[in-house]
Amino acid sequence: MALDSQKTDGFKQVGTRPDRPDGVDKVTGRARFGADMTAPGMLWGAIVRSPHAHARIVKIDTSKAEAMDGVKAVVTRADFSTSVAPARGMRGEMWNTLENVMAGETALYDGHAVAAVAATSALAARDAMKAIEVEYEVLPHVTDVDKAMAEDAPVIRADTAEASVPEGMHPNVVRYHESGHGDLGAGFAEADLVVEEHFVTEATHQGYIEPHACLATLGGDGKGELWCCTQGHWNVQKVCAALLDLETSQLRVTASEIGGGFGGKTTVFIEPVALALSRKANKPVKVVMTRSEVFRASGPTASTSMDIRIGMKKDGTITAASGVFRCQGGAFPGAPMEFTAMCAFAPYNLKNVSQIGYDVMTNRPKQAAYRAPGSPMAAFAVESVIDELCNKLDLDTIDTRLKNASKEGTQASFGPKWDRIGLVETLEAAKAHPHYSEPLKPGQGRGISCGFWFNHGGETAVSLALSEDGTAQLAVGTPDIGGSRASMAMMAAEELGIPYENVRCTVVDTASLGYNEISHGSRVTYASGLATIKAARDAVKKLCARAAAKWGIPEDAVKWEDGCAVPSGPNAGEHDPMPLAKITAKMGATGGPIVGHFEATPEGAGVSFATHIVDAEVDQETGKTSVSRYTVVQDAGKAIHPTYVEGQFQGGAAQGIGWALNEEYVYGDDGRLQNATFLDYRIPVASDLPMIDTVIVEVPNPGHPYGVRGVGETSICPPLAAIANAVSNAAGVRLTQLPMSPPRILRALGTHD
Amino acid sequence: MSKIHVTTTINGDEVEFLCDPRETMLDVLRDRLGLTGAKEGCGTGDCGACSVTVDDRLVCSCLMLGAEAEGKEIATVEGIATEEKLHPLQKRFIEYAALQCGVCTPGILVAAKNLLERNPDPTETEVRYWLAGNLCRCTGYDKIIRAVMDTAAEMREAS
Amino acid sequence: MQYHTPATFGDAVAIASGAEGVTRFLAGGTDVLVQLRSDLVEPDNLIDIKRVPGASDITKNPDGSWTLGVAATGAEMSEHAELGRDWPGLVEAMDLIGSTQVQGRATLTGNLCNGSPAADSVPAMFAAGVTVSVTGPDGMRQVPVEQIPAGPGKTNLAKGELISAVHVPARRAGGGDAYLRFIPRTEMDIAVVGCGVNLALNGDTITEARVALGAVAPTVVMVPDAAAAIVGTTLDDAALAKLSEAAAAACNPIDDKRGTIAFRTHVAGVLARRVARIAYDRAKG
């Protein structure tokens, strides 16, 4: 339902491109990230990790390490909560997290933490870490999703499956999803052409440049302080408290500047370990992951195995579509298979559709969210089949998508009816873009794909305190992962009618606001933005009340215009406009501090769609692909700071290019990760990419006062498929496995086995 | 294990420190000298977040021992702005949103400044290859490249 | 770990000869420090040879040959216009290693002594006919570069021995060299296959050729059959096809995270052709 007070034009601040408030800090080296903090008397922690994919921990001998100079504490699982209990599926998530943070009886993947040490220097801690002796009994392992579902696969943890998993499945299949509507049989029978294909994607890592880092202080009194790079410090507070049997409110968590997250910093890894070490040593402890630890032990996304079947009439009408999505998310439940399944056919208005998802455990690190978790893989599979159908039926790829596009009032593949959405608008903008009509050069192929993400609201608290001089302090609780402080300050300034520069937006610690959900689900500009607007309106109401009191008129006879209280209505009388600063200057004597608040769980996040256009060239002799042109078209609802919206579009596209072409977790037969470095986990470098053109489509989200939709995640949904379509069209052969590395492309071309 | 005494120059100031022979220049900058502008993204020379110049030569400070700094002139991101005046690259990076999270930014600024000192009129391709060792995961590089190119143009006009 | 800064190669040899445990020499450190930080190799003695006078010099000798100091960096080589005119392939090969930052430190000698079969500069050095001075407890000797690699991560240098200079032959008229590698990205990768070709012409006909391949065997390898395939030809299509075949036939690669046996073997043939064409065009001037 539309907000009655939605404002979609006449903005003074929104839509402009001011400098971000943390800009100077970040170009001068002053900004403090996770690893940049120190404390007096600080120790350094280091974590012992399993070299085995699956092994029973027989014995941990810490005596040699403990005897070394400078070593102050060693912890194992015994130093964590004993009250957190296992449970099936996601109900056991707190236990799963504990088990992942520090292994219990069994090491479940290469890189799984088994012990930790704190010492007086980073080198001393590393030396001591190497002196901890762990005796393992190596167990059979499995890292591949299909193999993990096979009858003879080693069981990773019995009795983990939820009741919804069909009878007869391997115990590694722990969750199941099924959705859809209509009659598939009838739908496929109506089709002139049915294309069915199997797709595989490898696990990819979020690849943030800043490794996980934290500085923890915890005393025997149960009171703690934690500084860490995280996307959500209230969640860190809650989880760490549970894992260490602390009272939540006794642990104050401060979010550092965050050097990228993309979903990977929505959980805890080293933070509880640093707290446990600190509690034992009774000194502050800093723990910083190495890059290799980041790859081996923090969350990559799921790898998948998928089967897609789509039927189409000659005129391009899709008659039926079905998909089976198998996602492995490491040695714990949680692979985002329900999102994969639900996003797969979301762009299309289908009469007959079915999607099935399996969550499968393997001996790999516990998956973490990665930018629209689950959706990009689904789009890769589905949009590849759509492209193949268009090729075979000689149909225009955008017209065909337009013909079947979801729009307001049509039923989503996963159930509900769509509210106002902007898919058609992105397709039309893509079609009108000069890129789409530019002739291809020899050897080039063009690919199109749509993408979808739900977006999210979530628990949000914001407070906006006015200062005597008429400036505003905006306290938000969602870590700024891409310039959100600027957007928040703009929205506050818009409502208050004061200059952007007069609003200082700070991401505050857990002691300073109510619970704020993680910066995830593309929710920050939507939810913290909504909360900021509402908090500013709350402050405005209070400002108006002060003016009303001063003028001796009723509160509802005062309205707020251009930063001033003004009389409103026939009985208000004649009063000069009273500027904000004039009211705040006297606020101590007129009722005390003026602070606006908002605390709620906004639920109108508003989904987002995108359409991407890519041109790619394939070297037929070597299988090497280069992306020659890229255009992102995406619905932002309303772009608060267009430059940062463009940045999200470009960043998602770039990550998608990496995922499509080169990024992958490579496991050896021994179950060990082979490429835990940026040398061999190949994210795109500057010379790999073209400029990335962007088109911001604005179809207002009815659930936000200005129409904002989240933009961060949708941008990574179309690239895998768009590039796969471009590469397939350039190479003349359909690529069905990611990444489309040169050896895979040559194999597809039949150059060699 | 005895420590090594090193005398060096950092951002124009003479600095003395003691370090373990295994400590890298990056360890020394961050943990001994409190210069945390240079970041450790990988520790293996693959990401460029720790970029500094040594005698005007761009290097990864994670691939240099602290002990090797003896007698050298080292420049870090902390030395790019003069007093309260930002370098044109710094201004342009903010204006263009050539950073999102900002953790790669110190290394990229050090590298880009070194490029423009050597080549005031680089092509887009030259900028992209010069910065290929500076990983950025947020931006897709588009706004970074534009910021460097436009700063170069601005500096050429100003000189 | 002990860190040493000898003032002469003699002192360096003395330290290395008397050292217990693992000894490493430090020039650019772009491999040694990575191994140290990754807990692969923690030397007991690290001998920094950059303070030896002349270690960073790049010198053209009166006979047209070149002597490169063991600490001369990739960046210094790339900035040396005359060296680049004489040996563009060698300079390009060195320049392909790592980033601009790595170029600020990395050296030919380090690339050679790291013992990687995928080292970019090594096939170019093989092709160029580079020799190196080896200084050790028994004095100095000059050996062809092909004799240094012994296997992945291993060299034929004995305890106490180090490379003290790199000698690149004079570039004769009618000669040219080139190096290409295959990587999936445009930069920052280790070669999946590397190929260096150096040849000399008489008119349009190739009179001498040296072809070397990287990343297709336990060490960088010379491929005499590939050279023979193009000597006496004008690098026509038939010669190129034979060259390709010979290059592929010389491959004895492994399947690993960077490439497969089949891929490496195929691409070695492709690269050999492409590199030979560039070298040929350069030789023609």
A238, A242, A239, A233: which is closest to A214 by C-alpha?
A233
Q: Is the CB of residue B21 less than 8 Å away from at least one CB of chain C?
A: yes
Chain B residues closer than 8 Å to C105 by CB: 59-60, 63-64
Instruction: Point out the residue among A22, A208, A211 whose CB comes nearest to the CB of B137.
Output: A208
Q: Is the CB of residue B61 less than 8 Å away from at least one CB of chain C?
A: no
Structure tokens at C270: 């492709």
**Given a contact as 3+ CB pairs under 8 Å, which chains touch B?**
A, C
For chain A, give the percent of residues with pLDDT over 70. 99
Nearest-Cα residue of chain C relative to residue B52: C101
Mutate to test the interface with C, among A288, A624, A627 (most CBs of C within 10 A): A624
- Count of residues making up chain B: 159
Task: Considering chain B, tell me which residue range(s) the CATH 1.10.150.120 domain(s) occupy.
Answer: 88-158
- Count of residues making up chain A: 753
Give the DSSP letter string of A632-652.
EEEE-SS-SSHHHHHHHHHHH
pLDDT (tens digit per residue) in B48-66? 999 999 999 999 999 999 9
Task: Considering chain C, tell me which residue range(s) the CATH 3.30.390.50 domain(s) occupy.
Answer: 175-284
Chain B: give the shortest CA distance to residue A586, in Å.
34
Answer yes or no: is pLDDT of A590 > 90.
yes
Q: Tell if the CB–CB gap between C39 and A130 is shorter than 8 Å.
A: yes
Q: Tell if the CB–CB gap between A743 and C38 is shorter than 8 Å.
A: no
Give the distance from CA A511 to its chain's centroid. Answer: 25
- What mean pLDDT is reported for chain C? 97
Give the count of Cβ contacts less than 8 A between chain A and C: 60
Kindly report the CATH class assigned to A374-455+606-749: alpha beta
Q: What is the mean pLDDT of the segment spanning C176-194?
A: 97
Q: Is the CB of residue A24 less than 8 Å away from at least one CB of chain B?
A: yes
Q: What is the mean pLDDT of the segment spanning A140-163?
A: 97
Q: Give domain limits for chain A.
A: 23-31+457-600, 374-455+606-749
- What mean pLDDT is reported for chain A? 97
pLDDT band of residue A1 (cuts 50, 70, 90) is very low
Q: What is the mean pLDDT of the segment spanning C13-22?
A: 96
Q: Tell if the CB–CB gap between B132 and C3 is shorter than 8 Å.
A: no
Query: In Å, how far are A217, B59, B149, C29 from B53, measured between CA atoms?
Result: 36, 6, 21, 16
Answer yes or no: is pLDDT of B153 > 90.
yes
pLDDT (tens digit per residue) in A61-109? 999 999 999 999 999 999 999 999 999 999 999 999 999 999 999 999 9
pLDDT (tens digit per residue) in C156-172? 999 999 999 999 999 98
Nearest-Cα residue of chain A relative to residue B34: A36
Q: Is the CB of residue A127 less than 8 Å away from at least one CB of chain B?
A: no
Chain A residues closer than 8 Å to C39 by CB: 126, 130
Q: Tell if the CB–CB gap between C188 and A679 is shorter than 8 Å.
A: yes
Q: Tell if the CB–CB gap between C257 and A751 is shorter than 8 Å.
A: no
- Interatomic CA distance for residues A619 and A730, integer angstroms: 9
Answer yes or no: is pLDDT of A269 > 90.
yes
Q: Tell if the CB–CB gap between C263 and A684 is shorter than 8 Å.
A: no
Answer yes or no: is pLDDT of B1 > 70.
no
pLDDT band of residue A571 (cuts 50, 70, 90) is confident
Q: Tell if the CB–CB gap between A752 and C263 is shorter than 8 Å.
A: yes
pLDDT (tens digit per residue) in A723-735? 999 999 999 999 9
Q: Is the CB of residue A290 less than 8 Å away from at least one CB of chain B?
A: yes
3-class DSSP state of C207: strand
How many Cα atoms sit within 13 Å of C10 on the Cβ side? Answer: 1
Nearest-Cα residue of chain B relative to residue A28: B78
Instruction: Point out the residue among C34, C104, C188 whose CB comes nearest to the CB of B59.
Output: C104
What's the confidence (pLDDT) of residue A2? 43
pLDDT (tens digit per residue) in C94-143? 999 999 999 999 999 999 999 999 999 999 999 999 999 999 999 999 99
Chain C: give the shortest CA distance to residue B13, in Å.
23
| Residue with tokens 């906006």, as numbered in its chain | A464
What's the confidence (pLDDT) of residue A569? 83
pLDDT (tens digit per residue) in C19-78? 999 999 999 999 999 999 998 999 999 999 999 999 999 999 999 999 999 999 999 999
ipTM of predicted assembly, 2 dp: 0.98
Q: Is the CB of residue A196 less than 8 Å away from at least one CB of chain C?
A: no
Instruction: Point out the residue among B54, B62, B65 whose CB comes nearest to the CB of C3.
Output: B65
Q: Tell if the CB–CB gap between B104 and A209 is shorter than 8 Å.
A: yes
Instruction: Point out the residue among C188, C256, C267 whose CB comes nearest to the CB of A622.
Output: C267
Q: Tell if the CB–CB gap between A685 and C266 is shorter than 8 Å.
A: no
Residues of C with CB under 8 A from a CB of B: 1-3, 26, 28-30, 33-34, 36-38, 42, 46, 48, 50, 73, 75, 98-102, 104-105, 186-188
Task: Considering chain C, tell me which residue range(s) the CATH 3.30.465.10 domain(s) occupy.
Answer: 2-116+131-168
Q: What is the mean pLDDT of the segment spanning A673-700?
A: 98
Answer yes or no: is pLDDT of B33 > 80.
yes
Give the count of Cβ contacts less than 8 A between chain B and C: 87
Chain C: give the shortest CA distance to residue B88, in Å.
22
Q: Tell if the CB–CB gap between C263 and A661 is shorter than 8 Å.
A: no
Q: Tell if the CB–CB gap between B139 and A27 is shorter than 8 Å.
A: no
Nearby residues of A256 by Cβ (< 8 Å), 6 or more positions away: A32, A33, A34, A36, A37, A213, A227, A228, A229
Chain B residues closer than 8 Å to A629 by CB: none
Kindly report the CATH class assigned to B88-158: mainly alpha
**Given a contact as 3+ CB pairs under 8 Å, which chains touch C?**
A, B
For chain A, give the percent of residues with pLDDT over 90. 97
C24, C115, C130, C113: which is closest to C77 by C-alpha?
C130
Q: What is the mean pLDDT of the segment spanning A353-358?
A: 98
Kindly report the CATH class assigned to C2-116+131-168: alpha beta
pLDDT band of residue A4 (cuts 50, 70, 90) is low
Residue A414 in contact with residue A346, Cβ under 8 Å?
Answer: yes
Structure tokens at A573: 């009388």
A310, A635, A315: which is closest to A450 by C-alpha?
A635
Q: Tell if the CB–CB gap between C1 and B4 is shorter than 8 Å.
A: no
Phi, psi for A253 (deg, rounded to 5): -115, 130
Chain C: give the shortest CA distance to residue A398, in Å.
30
Chain B residues closer than 8 Å to C34 by CB: 44-45, 63
What's the confidence (pLDDT) of residue C285? 87
- Can you count the helices (H) and strands (E) in chain B? 5, 5
Give the count of Cβ contacts less than 8 A between chain A and B: 185
Mutate to test the interface with B, among A36, A209, A627, A661 (most CBs of B within 10 A): A209
Angle at the Cα of A260 from the Cα atoms of A257 and A261, rounded to 5 degrees:
110
Q: Which CATH code fits A23-31+457-600?
A: 3.30.365.10
Chain C residues closer than 8 Å to A130 by CB: 39
Chain B residues closer than 8 Å to C186 by CB: 129, 132
Residue A155 in contact with residue A169, Cβ under 8 Å?
Answer: no
Answer yes or no: is pLDDT of A752 > 80.
no
Give the DSSP letter string of A319-337.
EEEEEEEEEE-SSSS---H
Q: Tell if the CB–CB gap between A130 and C257 is shorter than 8 Å.
A: no
pLDDT (tens digit per residue) in A283-321? 999 999 999 999 999 999 999 999 999 999 999 999 999
Q: Which CATH number fits domain C175-284: 2.70.150.10, 3.10.150.10, 3.30.390.50, 3.40.50.970?
A: 3.30.390.50
Chain B: give the shortest CA distance to residue A34, in Å.
10
Instruction: Point out the residue among B99, B109, B135 whose CB comes nearest to the CB of A683.
Output: B135
Structure tokens at A129: 């870490």
User: Per CATH, which fold does B4-79 belong to?
Assistant: Ubiquitin-like (UB roll) (3.10.20)
Q: Is the CB of residue C202 less than 8 Å away from at least one CB of chain A?
A: no
Chain A residues closer than 8 Å to C260 by CB: 743
What is the Cα Rg of chain A in Å? 27
Chain B residues closer than 8 Å to A25 by CB: 102
Q: Tell if the CB–CB gap between C75 and B57 is shorter than 8 Å.
A: yes
Chain C: give the shortest CA distance to residue A274, in Å.
22
Q: Tell if the CB–CB gap between B39 and A27 is shorter than 8 Å.
A: no
| A528 DSSP 8-state letter | I
Angle at the Cα of A35 from the Cα atoms of A113 and A53, rounded to 5 degrees:
20
pLDDT (tens digit per residue) in A158-181? 999 999 999 999 999 999 999 999
Residue C199 in contact with residue C211, Cβ under 8 Å?
Answer: no
What's the confidence (pLDDT) of residue A751? 80
Answer yes or no: is pLDDT of A218 > 60.
yes
Instruction: Point out the residue among B31, B44, B94 whose CB comes nearest to the CB of A677.
Output: B44
Pairing of strands A472-476, C58-60: unpaired
What's the confidence (pLDDT) of residue A753? 59
Answer yes or no: is pLDDT of A538 > 60.
yes
